[in-house]
A and B are shown apart, each in its own frame.
Chain A
Amino acid sequence: MSNIGIIMRRELASYFATPLAYIFLLIFLVLANLFTFYLGGFFERGQADLDPFFSYHPWLFLFLIPAVSMRLWADERRTGSIELLMTQPVTLWQAVVAKFLAAWAFTVLALALTFPLWITVNFLGKPDNGAILAAYIGSALLAAGFLSIGSLASALTRNPVIAFIVGVAACFVFLVAGFPLVLDAFRGWAPQFLVDAVASLGFLTHYEAISKGVIDIRDLIYFALLITWFLLATAVVLDVRKSE
């Protein structure tokens, strides 16, 4: 197995070594279903699709994903185990990618556990299962984007609580980057191309396109670039601060 595989497996096992993983899965599933049925009006709409389920994912992830990513590096630095890990024959980049992939695999598992909803909607009607699959992919990409931001937040501090708060704030900015809330701060002084650039950085536009069942290569590239950039930033920050 490669170094990435070895570290990823250890990370995943460590999630389940404490009740944290189970609590997270439970809360995620309860909240996802509450949003779908109460806020989203799943039954009242009378439509055989999962729109009410997927449209709340960004807001659910905003708080739950930073809770997964907050310990990624903050804990390693707090306990000193980063010194053990980084003196093994492993590159920093392998470790950064492995930990990110472990966290992602965990959130994909949480998503996969929502399968009863999919069964329900298929039982009640004839939904477009292709669109549902696309929406799941979009949701997984959104989670990956949040996780990469959370990974950087976690590398910046030894304190997981600070990593969580910084992670939520940063994820929020990226989530609503296409909204007047953020754009108005730029409109007064910035040239139009910059305003457009900020607007296109927003998660929501890209996520909503995919969750409607339209997988555009540009949206995929957007997520790939964003994730790569934040993981690179994580590695750079760790390289400078790992021993502090």
Chain B
Amino acid sequence: MSSKKDPELPAQPKSGFSRRGFIRGVGIGSGVLSTTGLLQQEAAAAPAAVVGPGPVAITLNINGKAVNLTAEPRVTLLDAMRNYLDITGAKRVCDRGTCGACTVLIDGKSVYSCTTLAIDAQGRKIETIEGFPVDNPVSVAFVHNDGQQCGYCTPGFVMAAHGFLREHPNPTEADVEHGLCGNLCRCGTYMGVRKAVVEAGKAMKGAKNA
């Protein structure tokens, strides 16, 4: 992947734009804002760490390894992985937190990486499907139960299933319907997915961390 080291990336602006400065400027010229007081209070508070809008150094803890990239603060965790780090198991499908194809675990919880900023994921433990062996029990159960067709939604389902099983180690199919309703499939693999997650739960019972 070239772009993470591309010399043609714009340099980070020296005179950084800051939200705090912006609020001050608006506050002076705007009666509406100054009467609320809230924004002024915020502006007067201890300075927040300000980054961007140009590219910034970002360090992510992905699958137990620290990885570095330089990207603008608006870059989502999903785009950081796919476009900057060549970590492509998580897919960009709806890009709006609806379909779950981009699911990763952050500090053990299922998260839509398309609606998480990469800068906000710093200092947290990110698990992607690449961090699990090919034969992890959930993926194996998806194969056994043919819970996949085109497979584009599958990594998201597998990650959501891992997150779900950590909290519900021995679910029924009805539990799975509830727990995985944040993921969508277009080929229609739900029959296999339901069975797969129940089977994975049984296989992992007692296992500390799959």
Task: Tell whether A pairs with B.
Answer: no
